[in-house]
Structure 1
Amino acid sequence: MTSTPEIIMYTTPWCGFCRRLKSQLAREGVELTEVDIEQDPTAAETVMRLNGGNQTVPTVVFPDGTAMTNPPAAKILEKIAGN
């Protein structure tokens, strides 16, 4: 399963939840763009806006503009399948 257009996952290098989610989605064939909020101040602002001022990762943003914070892989798979 390949997602098109782009899914963005905001992360940090030290986030274990981010690494696990990225690995689970890769096993399912889900393509995404990973953005490190510690390296990109604009991305950090986006994450804070989506999470009530908190820099909570992983935050996943879908092409339709909706977002999920620290979601299980199954919820992302449901979303991109249209369920």
Structure 2
Amino acid sequence: MKIGVMTMRVLLAVATVLLAFSIAGAEMYQWVDENGAVTFKDTPPPASKKKKKVKVYRDNDFAPAPPPQPVSAKPTGKSAAAQVAQPAPSPQVHFTGTVELYVTSWCGYCKRAQSYLKSKGVPYVAYDIEQDSAARQRHKDLGGHGVPLIIIGSHKMNGFSPEEMDYYLNNGR
């Protein structure tokens, strides 16, 4: 019986020590040095490290997402004649610039987006945010939280969707 009480006290002491160390090390700091290396430490960055002003982009800085396409039934009778009489929609403005992609080498959706743009003959530039610190910073400045981050003119896409990409390519500036 004494062994059980002793074992319980040792386990309680070990648990207390582990809990104390886990609480003490709970706060982490991250900063980028002058060479572009990202540093993680449990102490604040040195006072000698310069703080950069960063442009913060908000969702309303970019054009809104495309509206959902209505599903229409095949018109018949008078309604069909009325629809035919409507003026033709204005021609679409096609995007003529270069698409920017912020990617990683291991991302399947990034590869699909690049392949899709290549198949459409759309010029693009892919920036690997793991290999290029300047691209990583631009990705962060643009509000990127994942990959791919796709910039088509003033439009920003998080993730890859062929339908959304077509919308921006066909209605872009």
TM-score over 0.5 (shorter chain): yes
**1:20-54 CA distance string (max 9 Å, x none):** 121122112222111111121121122223336x3
Determine what percentage of the aligned residue pairs are the same residue.
Answer: 29
Q: Is the 8 A contact 2:109 2:160 kept in 1?
A: no
* Aligned counterparts, 1:40-79, within 5 A: 40-51=132-143, 54=145, 56-64=146-154, 66-79=155-168
For residue 39 of structure 2, what is the aligned residue in structure 1?
A: none
Q: Which has the higher contact order (CA 8 A, sep 6+)?
A: 1
CA-based RMSD of the aligned residues comes to 2.1
* Aligned counterparts, 1:11-26, within 5 A: 11-26=103-118
TM-score normalised by L of structure 1: 0.78
Q: How far 1:71 sits from its partner (Å)?
A: 2.6
Q: 3-state DSSP class of the match of 2:141?
A: helix
Larger Rg: 2
Matched pairs, number? 79
- Pair 1:36–1:61, CA change in 2 (3 A): same
TM-score normalised by L of structure 2: 0.41
* Consecutive unaligned residues in structure 2, runs of 5 or more: 1-93
* Consecutive unaligned residues in structure 1, runs of 5 or more: none
For residue 82 of structure 1, what is the aligned residue in structure 2?
A: 171
Partners of 2:134 and 2:99 in 1: CA distance: 17
Q: Is the 8 A contact 2:99 2:151 kept in 1?
A: yes
Partners of 1:7 and 1:24 in 2: CA distance: 12
Kindly provide the amino acid, as one letter, of the partner of residue 148 in structure 2. P
Partners of 1:19 and 1:11 in 2: CA distance: 8
